[in-house]
């Protein structure tokens, strides 16, 4: 990974970049002079694109900016490795995704026509940055960053005090005992263009009101792209909605009439009446797995992801099992977002005639396999069994350069939560696995 592996490793946390480098990468260029002969890692796996984007900067200036950063590191004998939260930024995949975006109206056709001939200069700034970073620096990927919170919350939802807004003490009991009358749950907090495409397709097949679907903010043309709805008349749809209490407790309260949905690592209570989670992930460009995916995997829910071509099958390649008893995942390998959406929506419509409870029981062993596999991946990362130099650096508290160095240990552990070695989470992970084992056992008995 590093050209000189004997140099000391320092991890630059993403929030350190956010709060300290107020002038963006120009500050980084000056700051690196204080770290000569060092292997530095810019740790920002919450993002599939650079946290400091070049939005609004002329493409020519952007190209020069990254060359200047590289020259600054070279001048002091240091090397920078950049970590993203997606899987890879391969150009062949980007071209396919760009074509998808052009067809949906996210980029005008003139720009789309230039992509092949102009290369990086035809991209928007997030994409341009990711490609320039790969040209100048070593790029690594951590697609399991968001797994941490999902693993930690499996047992929490049933052991929290009932007055806690995150408590769902009857969640698994209800999933076992309740009949299933709806096909799927689909949550859409941010109204991005690929989610607008998907909810429009659901409207075409009359799938919105008969399932658990959220639409928490209005899609505004020009801000999020230029998609034109063909079937969906926009309305705010809340599901298990929650709002901050606004007091010192830092908690949340349920609300039925506000356009906000607090869904981080929470499966809505309404989902106990549905068979499968349809996940509209955060990026239509890359395989970027967030809490949206991992909370379904870890909490024993079947899933199908709406995203770039192959996003479900990548998980299969990593040892997770797809729910072929419920969904024909060949939709995932179709070339365009429109084709994938249509193929999936038709399947969901057909499932309205199926015995949904029987299908849930039929995938019980896969539910356990996937949750256990995710917990094992988390455990391996936590224990650094792969001897990854980046994760080894994250395990060494003194090697991490972060903003809140001297604040409370509780805040610190959350701040670098998916890299820092976490002894408390070991017990929580095993307790969560026992919850899923018991749930699957009871589900199979029920069947």
- Is 53 in the same domain as 199? no
pLDDT digits (tens, 9 = 90+) for 193-231: 999 999 999 999 999 999 999 998 899 988 788 899 999
HSE-CB for 31 with a 13 A CA cutoff: 15
Closest CA to 215 of 198, 206, 223: 198
Does residue 64 lie in a domain region?
Answer: yes
Total structural domains in the chain?
A: 2
262 or 210, higher pLDDT: 210
Question: How far apart, in Å, are the Cα atoms of 191 and each of 120, 140, 187, 221?
Answer: 27, 29, 10, 10
Does residue 70 lie in a domain region?
Answer: yes
pLDDT digits (tens, 9 = 90+) for 117-151: 456 666 778 888 998 999 999 999 999 999 988 99
Distance between CA atoms of residues 295 and 147, nearest Å: 8
Confidence of residue 99 (pLDDT cuts 50, 70, 90): confident
Distance between CA atoms of residues 230 and 220, nearest Å: 15
Q: What b/e string do you get for 116-135 counting C-beta neighbours within 10 Å, with b at 16 or more?
A: eeeebebbbbbbbbbbbbbe
Distance between CA atoms of residues 322 and 313, nearest Å: 8
Residue 158's pLDDT is: 86
Domain boundary among 322, 339, 371: 371
Domain boundary among 371, 403, 419: 371
- Is 160 in the same domain as 98? no
Beta strand spans in 235-388 (E) = 242-244, 252-254, 274-280, 303-306
Number of CB atoms found within 10 A of residue 179's CB: 7
- Is 337 in the same domain as 209? yes
Task: Please state the separation of Cα 209 from the chain's center in Å.
Answer: 26
Distance between CA atoms of residues 360 and 151, nearest Å: 22
State which residues form the domain around 92.
9-141
Domain boundary among 340, 371, 402: 371
Residue 253's pLDDT is: 55
């Amino acid at each position: 990974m590093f050209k000189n592996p004997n140099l000391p490793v320092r991890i630059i946390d993403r929030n350190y970049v956010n709060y300290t480098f107020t002038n963006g990468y120009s500050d980084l260029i000056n700051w690196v002079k204080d770290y000569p002969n060092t292997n530095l890692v810019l740790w920002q796996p919450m993002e599939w694109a650079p946290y400091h984007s070049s939005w609004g900067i002329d493409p020519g200036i952007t190209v020069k900016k990254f060359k200047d950063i590289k020259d600054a590191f070279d001048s002091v004998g240091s090397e920078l490795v950049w970590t993203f939260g997606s899987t890879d930024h391969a150009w062949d995949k980007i071209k396919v995704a760009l074509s998808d975006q052009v067809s949906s109206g996210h980029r005008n056709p003139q720009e789309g026509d230039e992509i092949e001939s102009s290369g990086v200069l035809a991209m928007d700034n997030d994409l341009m940055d990711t490609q320039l970073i790969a040209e100048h620096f070593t790029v690594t990927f951590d697609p399991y960053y968001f797994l941490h919170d999902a693993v930690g919350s499996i047992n929490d939802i049933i052991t929290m005090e009932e007055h806690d807004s995150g408590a769902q003490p009857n969640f698994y009991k209800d999933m076992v005992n309740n009949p299933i009358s709806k096909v799927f749950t689909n949550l859409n907090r941010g109204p991005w263009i690929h989610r607008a495409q998907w909810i429009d397709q659901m409207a075409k097949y009359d799938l919105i009101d008969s399932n658990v679907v959220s639409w928490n903010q209005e899609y505004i043309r020009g801000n999020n792209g230029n998609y034109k709805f063909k079937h969906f008349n926009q309305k705010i749809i809340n599901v298990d909605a929650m709002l901050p209490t606004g007091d010192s407790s830092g908690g949340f309260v349920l609300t039925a009439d506000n356009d906000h949905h607090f869904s981080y690592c929470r499966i809505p209570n309404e989902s106990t009446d549905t068979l499968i989670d349809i996940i509209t992930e955060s990026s239509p460009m890359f395989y970027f797995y967030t809490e949206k995916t991992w909370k379904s995997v870890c909490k024993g829910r079947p899933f199908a992801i709406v995203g770039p071509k192959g996003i479900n099958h990548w998980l299969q390649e990593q040892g997770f099992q797809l729910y072929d008893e419920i969904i024909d995942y060949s939709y995932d390998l179709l070339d365009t977002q429109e084709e994938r959406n249509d193929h999936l929506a038709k399947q969901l419509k057909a499932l309205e005639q199926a015995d949904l409870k029987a299908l849930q029981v039929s995938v019980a062993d896969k539910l356990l396999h996937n949750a256990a596999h995710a917990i094992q991946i988390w455990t391996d990362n936590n224990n650094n069994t792969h001897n990854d130099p980046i994760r080894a650096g994250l395990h060494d508290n003194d090697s991490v350069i972060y903003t809140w160095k001297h604040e409370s240990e509780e805040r610190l552990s959350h701040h670098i939560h998916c890299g820092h070695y976490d002894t408390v989470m070991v017990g929580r992970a095993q307790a969560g696995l026992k919850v899923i084992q018991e749930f699957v056992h009871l589900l199979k008995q029920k069947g």
